[in-house]
Amino acid sequence: KAGVTQTPRYLIKTRGQQVTLSCSPISGHRSVSWYQQTPGQGLQFLFEYFSETQRNKGNFPGRFSGRQFSNSRSEMNVSTLELGDSALYLCASSGTTTNEKLFFGSGTQLSVL
């Protein structure tokens, strides 16, 4: 069974640009969540989608948005990039219930110059 796939693996952007990251969950998984990891703030929850609906949202500005498609694949978008958005963005998938363990992808390393 293929794991969680995130693309691209690395990304370099400049301030003011926008970026879209992609996540393909494990087959059969309907929940996808996104996390931002930085040395200073650690791992922070961005949002979670279940069956194309946002189920939960973290404390991030509106520049961070996401969506989930009918095949459970998800994308997150960051508009008007800032230097502080440089981070490892991790995607995780799980089945249906809250208590299920999350399976994580290898992440997208975003560098904003």
Partner 1 sequence: AQKVTQAQTEISVVEKEDVTLDCVYETRDTTYYLFWYKQPPSGELVFLIRRNSFDEQNEISGRYSWNFQKSTSSFNFTITASQVVDSAVYFCALRGYTGANSKLTFGKGITLSVRP
**Contacts to partner 1 by CB under 8 A:** 33, 35, 42-45, 48, 55-56, 58, 88, 90, 92, 98-99, 101-107, 109
- Shortest Å, Cβ 101 to partner 1: 5
Q: Considering the complex, state which of residue 9 and residue 63 has its C-beta at the smaller distance from partner 1.
A: 9
Q: How far is CA 49 from the centre of its chain?
A: 10
Q: Considering the complex, state which of residue 7 and residue 14 has its C-beta at the smaller distance from partner 1.
A: 7
CB atoms within 10 A of CB 63: 13
- Shortest Å, Cβ 82 to partner 1: 22
What does the alpha-carbon distance between residue 54 and residue 108 come to, in Å, rounded to a whole number?
A: 21
- Shortest Å, Cβ 107 to partner 1: 5
CA 52 to each of CA 2, 15, 25, 68, 75: distance values in angstroms, whole numbers, following the listed order:
21, 30, 13, 5, 11
- Shortest Å, Cβ 57 to partner 1: 8
CA 32 to each of CA 12, 90, 111: distance values in angstroms, whole numbers, following the listed order:
24, 10, 23
Q: Considering the complex, state which of residue 6 and residue 72 has its C-beta at the smaller distance from partner 1.
A: 6
Q: Considering the complex, state which of residue 58 and residue 65 has its C-beta at the smaller distance from partner 1.
A: 58
